Amino acid sequence: MTSTSETRGHLFVLHGLIQNFDYDAVIVPTDHRFDITSSWPESVTGAHDAARPQSWPRPFARSAAGKPVWFISVADEQLLSDEELIRRVAGTLSEIAGAELAKPDGRELTRIAIPVLGIGRGGLGDQRGAILRSLLATLLSFTANNHIDVLLVASNRAVFSAAQHARRELAREGSSVWDLNDDEMGEARRLGGLAADGHLALFLGAGVSIAAGLPTWDGLLEEVGADAGERPADFKELGALDKAEYLAVKMGADELNAKVRAAIGDPAKVAVAHALLAAMNCREAVTTNYDALYERAVEATGRHSPTILPWESVDPKREWLLKLHGDASRPETIVLTRRDFVLFDTKSKPAGSLLQALLLTKHLLIIGASLNDDNVIRLAMEVDEYLVRSGSRTARGTFVDVSGKPARQELWTQQFRWLICDGDSRSARARRMEILLDAVSAFSTADAPWVLDERFDGLLSDQDRAVTKNARALLAATESGSGLIAPLRSALSNLKGVRT
């Protein structure tokens, strides 16, 4: 995947809450009275009294407090038409594009966050299918003509699923939804299909959380070692494990782990990659990260937080997350030093065996990792040797590489499929990874909890509308049926979705 200095914007569709993301400008819906619903925290809008733009009501305007918040009226004294709402969205985006926003730190492009507008108190909820399709077309046109990314955030599962369906249809009709070549789109469809079938598992490395503002491993060691006193002149020449071991000897393992916990903190914002991975709804995931950002991204979709292994019992109704190298909320479990790595198999053999089981039974999508972790390398090599001896050696996962060092691919060609994200900088390569994951997320969203909801009829063909009309009539008829047809009623009800 390639990028250029003239990179066009991209439309990301995310399932979650806007306040959980890092962005440079946000569009907030209100009405002609400037009534902002309680679902919008002041961390996003600012204090409402101070934020109210002068001469309101207006179609849209920037916060009077100077924050990069644009308010858009989705409900005037008279009900807006869908055409007028879309005109206001386009006008708001144009004004934001012309504003002098602070350059994002560590990101390639400015980001605008926007919810799905008009389908709640905007009064156009009965037309949400048509509104959603028009909104997506407007946002795609904007990103195609501006060097700005847009995050369209849906908090409702049915709306998110419908948006993903609409994007797939737009792509099928020839719209440029993802800036990926044919091979890359093939990989996105393949991985999305694996996720939809329940055959995809995740492996998250530090690169995912770096995008959320957390330090690199070297940066973490530098931060926690700042109070360790004078260090040898050749300290920087040590490898990361030996640096950590030196700090543990110098200040004590407990104090080192406590400082790691403090350095990780409790970050408020998840990375876009966290949300895209969480939306794939994978039942199993493994991470070498200490933070709780993936769990937060899963919770924001409305699902239960994953069971955290090995400290919690697996719940059949919840997905699980194995924290291979410990959890910042449990500092004593952190694996960081040379001693921790050498003794890993002695202390945590079942955890390693679980990762190996995933390599044998699932397809593992590896994101944000560098494959220079001695423990992970050993575990993967043991699986590979086992498969060589059994005569069934095949690629057991897909590695998405943002390292900028394609030679690493040659070391693992027979163990993993390899996708290289090109770019002139790490931030450019990370953004290309996010675009790939956005496509995977779209093709993994196979459920359709909206298809029998008449408010989404605008996304259906005439033939499909006729079919869903009959299906809704059948659902109504099941209400008088016996328990024998309860499974049919349940299946149809799941396609009705949740009204919001």
pLDDT digits (tens, 9 = 90+) for 466-490: 998 999 899 999 988 888 988 898 8
Confidence of residue 196 (pLDDT cuts 50, 70, 90): very high
Where does the pLDDT of residue 42 fall: very low under 50, low under 70, confident under 90, or very high at 90 and above? very high
Query: Cβ-count burial of 289 within 10 angstroms (0-12 exposed, 13-18 middle, 19+ buried)?
Result: buried
Q: Any idea where the domains of the chain sit in the sequence? A: 11-155, 195-213+267-444, 217-264, 461-494
The mean pLDDT value for 89-114 works out to 91
Judged against a pLDDT cut of 80, whether residue 404 lies above it is answered with no
Distances (CA, A) of 393 to 360, 398, 407, 414: 10, 15, 22, 8
User: Which of the residue ranges 340-344, 354-358, 408-412 would you say has the lowest mean pLDDT?
Assistant: 408-412
User: Residue 498: which pLDDT band, with cuts at 50, 70 and 90?
Assistant: very low
Instruction: List, in sequence order, every residue forming a beta bridge with 322; answer none if it has no partner.
Output: 286, 309
| Structure token digits, residue 71 | 């308010």
What CA–CA distance (Å, rounded) separates 435 from 11?
9
Q: What is the pLDDT of residue 453?
A: 85
Q: What is the pLDDT of residue 73?
A: 93
pLDDT for the residue numbered 124: 54
Q: What is the pLDDT of residues 134-156, one digit of tens each?
A: 999 999 999 999 999 999 999 98
**Range 195-213+267-444: architecture per CATH:** 3-Layer(aba) Sandwich (3.40)
Q: Identify which has the larger pLDDT, 115 or 493.
A: 115
Structural contact between residues 159 and 116, judged by C-beta atoms closer than 8 angstroms: yes
Confidence of residue 499 (pLDDT cuts 50, 70, 90): very low
pLDDT at residue number 312 = 94
- The pLDDT value recorded for residue 153 is 96
Q: Give the residue, 228 or 17, on which the prediction is more confident.
A: 17
Strands 320-323 and 284-287, by their bridges, are parallel
Q: How confident is the model at residue 268 (pLDDT cuts 50, 70, 90)?
A: confident
**Does the pLDDT of residue 122 top 60, yes or no?**
no
- In terms of DSSP H, where are the helices of 265-343? 272-278, 293-300, 338-342
Q: Which two tokens stand for residue 499?
A: 């009204």
Lowest mean pLDDT among 42-46, 68-72, 417-421, 473-477: 417-421
pLDDT at 170 over 80: yes
Average pLDDT over residues 168-173: 89
Question: Can you tell me the distance from the alpha carbon of 417 to that of 249, in angstroms, rounded to the nearest whole number?
Answer: 40
pLDDT band at 442 (very low <50, low <70, confident <90, very high): very high
Residue 332 pLDDT grade (very low, low, confident, very high; cuts 50, 70, 90): very high
pLDDT confidence of residue 434:
95
Average pLDDT for 373-398:
83
The SS3 of residue 367 is strand
Residue 120 pLDDT more than 70? no
Mean pLDDT, residues 340-368: 91
Instruction: Measure the CA–CA gap between 206 and 320, rounded to whole angstroms.
Output: 19
Out of 3.40.50.2000, 3.40.220.10, 3.40.50.1820, 3.40.50.150, the CATH code matching 11-155 is: 3.40.220.10
Q: Is the model's pLDDT at 5 over the cut of 50?
A: no
Q: How high does pLDDT run on average in the chain?
A: 88
Angular region, 277: left φ>0, alpha ψ -120 to 50, beta rest: alpha
pLDDT attached to residue 447: 77
- Quote the pLDDT of residue 274: 96
Distances (CA, A) of 89 to 39, 353, 455: 20, 51, 21
Give yes or no for residue 4 having a pLDDT over 70: no
What does the pLDDT read at residue 25? 96
Own/partner contacts of 387-392, CB < 8 Å, gap of 24 or more, are none
| pLDDT one-digit tens code per residue, 211-223 | 888 888 888 888 8
Question: pLDDT confidence of 123, banded at 50, 70, 90?
Answer: low
pLDDT band at 1; cut points 50, 70, 90:
very low
Q: Tell me the per-residue pLDDT of 406-434, one tens digit each, with 9 for 90 and over.
A: 666 666 777 788 888 888 888 888 899 99
- Confidence category of residue 388, pLDDT binned at 50, 70, 90: confident
Q: Taking residues 32-56, what's their average pLDDT? A: 91
Q: Encoding tokens for residue 135?
A: 């909104």
